[in-house]
């Protein structure tokens, strides 16, 4: 069935693509506008001439239990591009002490792996893990540091790196409720829910190109280099979308989903509550094949590098919550991070061809104050909805949150379109 109204989606990041593909699958007439020349937003791949190869803006780790992500990749037909081990296994190295270990969580709900010294973090006891259960019942104003002891081997070797990666915010001052949401969807669900999954060979192959192909087949229109400049609101309705070259009228039977980052949304929507503080992520890409037997992902403690991702044609390093290093000179960063990689993976080679990607506003700061500023998808304008990792998904700024926000907005828009 075709609705009379049509759906406009602004922003072709994962929230916008999830919303657009969801609505196109249900028969809606969809038009997507993207300000830049490519889709993907903060999760994109591109050819880098200096690197002479395709790179991702940053490594993106997702997990086997990410329900919305799997619904999305199944819809667009790219689930085979998410690769990873058949069991939840996480290799770590401590660059200060030289210690190496592999976490081996069991699959089922009962986490008996914490009782096995061979499977848990060295130097920890089962009771240490139990103390983190408090985060599952956190209040909205509490920080992680209010509820758990932010010191000791379990903190240093697992919980700090894990929560820093998930929240992209120094965990001690981060929202305990968001940390609890991450634990609820991962550690609390058993190893089968948190097998690591990596977009292979690129983010575009798993998340972006198949979505654009899906939209094309369903005759959705996708316009690149179309930056929304203003929205006209009147009578509790979005009435028009103003682009540099044209103003498009919106009828009360249409639906508009705004899926842009928070700093853009605040300029376009009057009196919008939205996060105002952000945290950076630095990624380094090294053009060198990973040594045989290198783990697909290696957690690093005691260095500047935090996670090392090994691909057939490159090694990529992620540093989350990177505000302390983001302004450093690129070459200096490349040298520091390569030194960590060379030690962690035991590679004798000198600094290979490299690229540093700095994302200064990678995510909103996952503090209780910023979390409290996140709006829900439904707005006071009946044909106008919000999506984005920064809307009130209950999760930190992640692909899973972005996709869920797009699905929520799409469900509201479909109701508006009577589909």
Ligand X SMILES: Cc1cc2nc3c(=O)[nH]c(=O)nc-3n(C[C@H](O)[C@H](O)[C@H](O)COP(=O)(O)OP(=O)(O)OC[C@H]3O[C@@H](n4cnc5c(N)ncnc54)[C@H](O)[C@@H]3O)c2cc1C
Q: Residue numbers of the site for ligand X (CB under 6 A)?
A: 10-16, 33-36, 41-43, 57-58, 60-62, 227-228, 259-261, 264, 281, 283, 359, 362-363, 388-389, 397-400, 402
Rounded-to-integer distance, Cα 133 and Cα 46, Å: 41
Backbone angles phi, psi at 261, to 5 degrees: -65, 160
The CA-atom distances, in angstroms, between 228 and each of 23, 148, 201, 214, 364 are 21, 44, 32, 24, 22
Q: Which helix (H) or strand (E) holds 325?
A: none
Nearer to ligand X, 208 or 239 (CB): 208
Say how many C-beta atoms besides its own lie within 10 A of residue 342's C-beta: 18
Name the 3-class secondary structure at 71: helix
**Shortest distance, position 60 Cβ to ligand X, whole Å:** 4
**Residue with smaller CB distance to ligand X, 146 or 323:** 323
Least distance in Å: CB of 254 to ligand X?
Answer: 17
Nearer of residues 89 and 198 to ligand X, judged by Cβ: 198
Sign of the CA dihedral 170, 40, 299, 309? negative
d(CA 406, CA 360): 23
Q: In the numeric block, which tokens belong to residue 209?
A: 């190109």
Nearer to ligand X, 61 or 410 (CB): 61
Read off the tokens for 136.
Answer: 């599952």
Smallest separation, CB 170 to ligand X (Å):
16
Q: Closest distance between ligand X and the C-beta of residue 24, in Å?
A: 17
Question: Residue 248 burial (CB < 10 Å; 0-12/13-18/19+)?
Answer: middle
Nearer to ligand X, 134 or 328 (CB): 328
Q: Residue 268, by phi and psi: left (phi above 0), alpha (psi -120 to 50) or beta?
A: alpha
Residue nearest to ligand X as judged by C-beta position? 13
Closest to ligand X by CB, 128 or 185: 185
CB of 128 to ligand X, least distance (A): 25
Smallest distance from ligand X to CB 361, Å: 8
CA 316 from centroid of its chain's CA atoms: 16
Pick between residue 96 and residue 327 the one whose CB is nearest to ligand X.
Answer: 327
């Amino acid at each position: 069935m075709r609705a009379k109204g049509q759906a406009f989606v602004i922003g072709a990041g994962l929230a916008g693509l999830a919303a657009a593909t969801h609505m196109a699958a249900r028969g809606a007439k969809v038009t997507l506008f993207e300000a830049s020349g490519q889709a993907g937003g903060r999760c994109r791949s591109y050819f880098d001439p200096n690197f002479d190869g395709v790179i991702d803006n940053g490594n993106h780790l997702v997990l086997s239990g990410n329900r919305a992500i799997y619904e999305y990749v199944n819809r667009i037909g790219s689930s085979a591009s998410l690769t990873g081990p058949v069991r939840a296994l996480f290799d770590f190295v401590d660059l200060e002490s030289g210690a190496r270990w592999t976490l081996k969580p069991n699959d089922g709900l009962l986490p008996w792996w914490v009782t096995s010294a061979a499977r848990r973090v060295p130097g920890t006891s089962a009771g240490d893990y139990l103390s983190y259960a408090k985060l599952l019942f956190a209040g909205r104003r509490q920080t992680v540091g209010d509820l758990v002891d932010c010191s000791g081997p379990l903190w240093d070797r697992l919980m700090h790196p894990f929560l820093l990666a998930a929240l992209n915010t120094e965990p001690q001052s981060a929202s305990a409720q968001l940390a609890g949401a991450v634990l609820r969807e991962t550690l609390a669900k058993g190893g089968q829910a948190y097998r690591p999954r990596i977009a292979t060979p690129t983010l575009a192959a798993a998340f972006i190109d198949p979505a654009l192909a899906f939209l094309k087949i369903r005759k959705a229109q996708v316009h690149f280099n179309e930056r929304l400049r203003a929205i006209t609101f009147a009578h509790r309705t979005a009435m028009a979308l103003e682009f540099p070259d044209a103003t498009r009228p919106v009828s009360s039977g249409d639906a508009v989903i705004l899926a842009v980052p928070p700093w853009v949304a605040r300029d376009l929507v009057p009196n919008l509550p939205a996060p105002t503080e952000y945290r950076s992520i630095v990624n380094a890409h090294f053009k060198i094949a990973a040594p045989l037997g290198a783990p697909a992902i290696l957690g690093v403690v005691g260095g500047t590098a935090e996670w090392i991702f090994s691909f057939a044609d490159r090694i990529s390093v992620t540093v989350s919550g990177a505000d302390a290093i983001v302004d450093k000179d690129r070459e200096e960063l490349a040298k520091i991070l390569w030194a960590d990689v060379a030690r962690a993976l035991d590679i004798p080679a000198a600094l290979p061809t490299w690229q540093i990607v700095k994302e200064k506003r990678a995510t909103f700061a996952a503090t209780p104050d910023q979390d409290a500023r996140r709006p829900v998808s439904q707005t006071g304008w009946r044909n106008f909805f919000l999506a984005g990792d920064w809307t009130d998904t209950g999760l930190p700024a992640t692909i899973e949150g972005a996709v869920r926000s797009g699905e929520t907005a799409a469900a509201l828009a479909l109701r508006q379109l009577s589909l």
